[in-house]
Amino acid sequence: MSVNGIPTSLTPSPEGYADWLGELKAQIHEAQQRAAQAVNLELVLLYWKIGNAILIRQNKQGWETKMVDRLAHDLRSSFPDMQGFSVRNLKYMRAFAHCWSDIQFVQQLLHKLPWGHNLVLLDKLDTEQQRRWYAAKAIEHNWSRNILVMQIETRLLERSGTAVTNFEARLPSHQSGHCRIQIVRIPARRAANQFAQHRADRARTGRQRYIY
């Protein structure tokens, strides 16, 4: 677009316009982040509810494992435009609900992690304490999924040692006792360098990349 032959981007702006534009951009970014968090909350809660429903019917009604295959088929037929209803992902939903039986914890903390991060916690960690610790760390430091995988595989929790933390302020009282682990802040640049070295080491050893 142009005004009197001058491209719009080159037209003079009134005094204070740049600051005003910066404020609007910040508001838009904040709204986008809130919207994304709201969508992620609903998605994670939906997956937990589906997984819990599968558990209930398998445990109380004795439904066979193949029921998940049928369920995946029926859900994909009913919601063809919606992803996430593969047999594999339904089994992850069941495991997610099994490992996190307290929906309040899911609502308060785990919804802040994308689904892919939650799958990493399920696949790569054996105990609830470990999952809680790495979940809190990933949220605190805004780790990508690759960084989360690297921190788990390089045993950050074991390298960190143990100490009393302020997790009591973050988690419900009946949950905080599991999380008395030292918090070690890792700068973003250092984490990126560690991840690059980690990938190089894995390439040399011929190990397969972690893929979902």
52-57 own/partner pairs: CB under 8 Å, 24+ apart: 52/97, 52/103, 54/90, 54/93, 54/94, 54/97, 55/94, 55/97, 55/98
Domain residue ranges of the chain, discontinuous segments joined by +: 22-99, 114-207
Q: How far is CA 71 from CA 50, 60, 61, 91, 115, in A?
A: 10, 17, 15, 11, 20
DSSP 111: G
Report the pLDDT value the prediction gives residue 203, as an integer from 0 to 100.
56
Tell me the C-alpha distance between 64 and 33, whole Å: 41
Tell me the C-alpha distance between 131 and 153, whole Å: 13
SS3 content of the chain, % helix, strand, coil (to 5): 70, 0, 30
Report the pLDDT value the prediction gives residue 76, as an integer from 0 to 100.
96
Q: What are phi and psi of 3, to 5 degrees?
A: -125, 115
Query: pLDDT tens, 66-95?
Result: 889 999 999 999 999 999 999 999 999 999
Tell me the C-alpha distance between 142 and 132, whole Å: 15
Global pTM exceeds 0.85: no
Report the pLDDT value the prediction gives residue 151, as an integer from 0 to 100.
95
Chain centroid, CA 160 distance in Å: 22
Neighbours of 156 (CB within 10 A): 18
> Contact 77/124 with Cβ under 8 angstroms?
no
Residue ranges in the chain modelled with pLDDT below 70: 1-6, 8-10, 162-212
Determine the length of the chain. Answer: 212
Report the pLDDT value the prediction gives residue 91, as an integer from 0 to 100.
95
Closest CA to 180 of 167, 171, 190, 192: 167
User: What 3-state DSSP class applies to 63?
Assistant: coil
